[in-house]
A and B are shown apart, each in its own frame.
Chain A
Amino acid sequence: MHPKMILTIFRKDARDAIRDSRVLAAILIPIGIGLFYGYAFGDDDFEAPPVEVAYVVEDSTQLLEILQNVTSEAVDLELTQAASAAALREQLLDEEVDLGLIIPAGFDEGVQAGESPSLEILLHEEAAPGANYIAAAVQQSLELLAGRAPPATVQLDVVSLAEANQSVAIFEEIGPRQYFVLAAIMMLVAMNSILVVSVILAEEAEKKTLDALVMIASYTDVVVAKALVGLFYVTVSVVVMLGLTGLMPGNLLLFIAGIGLFSIAMVGIGLLLGGIFSNANQLNTWAGVFLIPVIAPAFMVGIPLPDTIETVLLFLAPSQSMRMAVNGMTGSAVFPDVWLSVLVLIAWAVVTYGLLGLRLSRRQA
């Protein structure tokens, strides 16, 4: 690889592609959609969903107050004290409350002394979506209580010994505005990575300018430059989208990781498609067919779905990226198992670039 040549080709592509109406449309359409959703669903439209939490505490604790502060923007937390642990379980089974907390005596002192006392969280198997969020927010509250992490051993019990339903009604969690803007961002990534990158590569082969480039550069240089163009357009477009909608990720690092890993994997798919199609117009015609399976899973995240579809979504890059983006935007663990999302996205990138490497080595030979 020749970094100077890659940079030169990258500069050319960035300048040339933006003058192509197909590319311009692929960049501007998702931004337009994101803007529409950003303004169509104002912040005022979002009403925090109610979550009822019962607790048992043997002496005073600041945990409940901190928990209420931490979650106040996302949910309307209603706290009621139960007479005993048994009564609390009864309330959960009768679905009178969404979540239970059993806080042992001397809990605050123990946390502050770094003794890791046990805190029991009870969750009903058909708990309201916000209950999962509260369960996740406890950890953050404990850190605030202790001033450091990890301050306590949290024991999560699901009443009836069933798995907690991880499906989150996403509208209730983050509101339609954030949801649709995030979905538009996923669409933007897909269109920039898959459509823009594949079109500029296919056009290079179709017009035979690729032959002129490889008179001095290598195929790898050309392909890496195209990948950088895709990532560059994604970065600029996402920043523009966030700037215009006024949304700021609560956990920027997680948000960047989710969007970044997804973009890298999708750019790889765009490069593969660009190598398969020899005609940019043909690619443009068929783009919808490739984009729908990429965009649809992102839109399905957080919507209650049959278990089979939920399982399939676990293995797809768009849905895992959307999960990370939701967590990153809200700054909380709306979707658990971030490590799984990262793993799935990395696996997609590895497979895609493995195939690309194989094609390139054949072409170089």
Chain B
Amino acid sequence: MDAAQEPMIAVENLTKRYGQVQAVDDISFSVAAGEVFGLLGHNGAGKTTTIRVLTGRTRPTSGRAAVAGCDVQTERDQLKPRINLVFEDQNLYERLTGHENMRLFGDLYGVPRERAGELLDIVGLVEGADRKVKTYSSGMKQRLLIARSLINNPRVLFLDEPTRGLDPSSSRDVRSIVSRLSQEGTTIFLTTHDMEEADELCNRVAFLSHGKVVALGTPRELKLRYGEPAASVLLDTEDEHTISLNQPDDARRLQQWMADGRVLTIHSQEGSLEDVFIELAGRPLS
């Protein structure tokens, strides 16, 4: 395999234990360059721990992981400039302005000063750049976090719950930025509770439960494999029914409605990622 084909993230039998708690349990997967990879799971499933290990901030108990060509244990100094992270918490310096926040990290990464302004422009924060961050809305802070994470033009960008707590409009802005980054070739590793978001953004997703990867594939593959095919039927009484296409009773009910000429519309529905997760973990995500 030549360098161009090497995965941007390679995880082999990774385990992380905190005392008696098995946070990550022998997981393996790889992420190709330019791919958007989603890691889904309940709170405490091991998502954030996996990110901590992959960003070199925690040493694994066993196993191996390489990100952007660097071993996360032995090549942490080389790894740092190649990656960045949008944290789950909005960890910004609130008494500094947006521009000062950007300049700080620009100076730490040793990038030209103009880069801060360019990124603020990309995320639409030029107007608020000279205001203190404590006056920002949650959506503005999230956009600033994303701008900060792009300051070093990372080869791999980790996003830990990037739309948590945002209103629909801000969430859409964030997703749009992530899509654009992906199109520009940045490898993205995303954790989220939002199944629609994962479905929209991710090329592949892995479901994590109790520290183990319980399913991995494209959203469509997983929905077909684990989701239940259904149809939404609108009757002449304007009653809408959702029927499972795998259940004989439901099929008979549909047949009867059609024979009676009562069906106004019928739309097929594939299973959602939420259904997949319920199937795999036995309870919903939220």
What is the interface of chain A, defined by CB distance below 8 A to chain B?
4-5, 8-9, 12, 15-16, 19-20, 207-209, 211-217, 365
Contact in complex: A217, B108 (CB < 8 Å): yes
Tell me the nearest residue of chain B to A8, going by C-beta. B107
Residue from B87, B95, B107, B110 in contact with A208 in the complex, judged by beta carbons closer than 8 Å:
B87
| Given A212-B91, A215-B85, A15 contacting B100 (CB threshold 8 A) | yes
Additional A-B contact list (4), CB under 8 Å, known A12-B100, A211-B87, A212-B87 = A15-B96, A212-B91, A215-B84, A365-B59
The listed residue (A8, A209, A216, A365) touching B93 by CB distance below 8 A is A209
Q: Which of B80, B84, B95, B108 contacts A8 (CB 8 A)?
A: B108
What is the bound-complex CA distance between A214 and B79, given in angstroms? 12
Q: Are B152 and A216 in contact (CB under 8 A)?
A: yes
> Known: A20-B95, A208-B87, A208-B89. Is A216-B109 also a contact (CB below 8 A)?
yes
A12-B93, A20-B95 given; A212·B148 CB < 8 A: yes
Contact B80 A211 (CB under 8 A): no
Query: What residues of B have a CB within 8 angstroms of the CB of A20 in the complex?
Result: 95
* Binary per-residue interface labels of chain B (70-86) against chain A in the complex, 1 for a CB within 8 Å, 0 otherwise: 00000000001101110
Contact A12 B148 (CB under 8 A): no
Residues of B within 8 A of A (CB): 55, 57, 59, 80-81, 83-85, 87, 89, 91-96, 100, 104-105, 107-110, 148, 152
Task: Give the distance in Å from the alpha carbon of A197 to the alpha carbon of B49 in the complex.
Answer: 30
A207 partner residues in chain B, CB cutoff 8 A: 89, 91, 94
> Which A residue's beta carbon lies closest to that of B107?
A8
Bound complex: CA of A216 vs CA of B83, how far in Å?
Answer: 9
Report the Cα distance A365→B60, complex, angstroms.
11
- B92–chain A nearest beta-carbon distance, Å: 7
In the bound complex, residues from chain B placing their C-beta under 8 Å from that of A216 are 80-81, 105, 108-109, 152
Residue among A12, A207, A212, A365 with max Cβ neighbours from chain B (10 Å): A212
| Chain A residues with CB under 8 A of B107 | 4, 8
Minimum distance in angstroms from B160 CB to a CB of chain A: 10
A215: contacting residue among B55, B59, B93, B104, CB under 8 A: B55
Contact between B105 and A212 (Cβ–Cβ < 8 Å)? yes
Asked if residues A211 and B57 are in contact (CB atoms below 8 Å), the reply is yes
Is B96 within 8 A of A16, CB to CB? Answer: yes
The distance in angstroms between the C-alpha atoms of A20 and B81, with both chains bound, is: 31
B91 in complex: contacting residue of A12, A15, A16, A211, CB < 8 Å: A211
Contacts of A8 in B (CB 8 A): 104, 107-108
**Which residues of chain A are within 8 angstroms of B55 by Cβ–Cβ distance?**
215
State A16–B101 Cα separation when bound (angstroms).
Answer: 10
Specify which chain A residues have a CB less than 8 angstroms from the CB of B85 in the assembled complex.
212, 215
Verify A209–B91 contact, CB threshold 8 A.
yes
- Chain A residues in 8 Å Cβ range of B109: 216
A213 surroundings in chain B (CB, below 8 A) = 108
- Chain B residue with Cβ nearest A7: B107
A208 to B100, CA, bound (A): 17
CB < 8 Å: which of B57, B80, B83, B96 contacts A12? B96
- Chain B residues lying within 8 Å of A19, measured Cβ to Cβ, are 95
B59 contact set on A, CB distance < 8 A: 365
Which of these, A4, A15, A209, A214, contacts B57 with CB under 8 Å? A214
Q: How far is the CB of A10 from chain B (nearest CB, A)?
A: 11
> Could you list some 23 contacts between A and B, CB below 8 A?
A4-B107, A8-B107, A12-B96, A15-B96, A16-B93, A16-B95, A208-B87, A208-B89, A209-B92, A209-B93, A211-B91, A212-B87, A212-B105, A212-B148, A214-B57, A215-B55, A215-B80, A215-B83, A215-B85, A216-B105, A216-B108, A216-B109, A216-B152
- Inside 8 A of A212's CB, which chain B residues have their CB? 85, 87, 91, 105, 148
User: Closest Cβ of chain B: how far from A207's Cβ, in Å?
Assistant: 6
Query: Is A208 within 8 A of B91, CB to CB?
Result: yes
- In the assembly, what is the distance between CA of A19 and CA of B92, in Å? 15
Q: What distance in Å separates the Cβ of A115 from its nearest Cβ neighbour in chain B?
A: 65
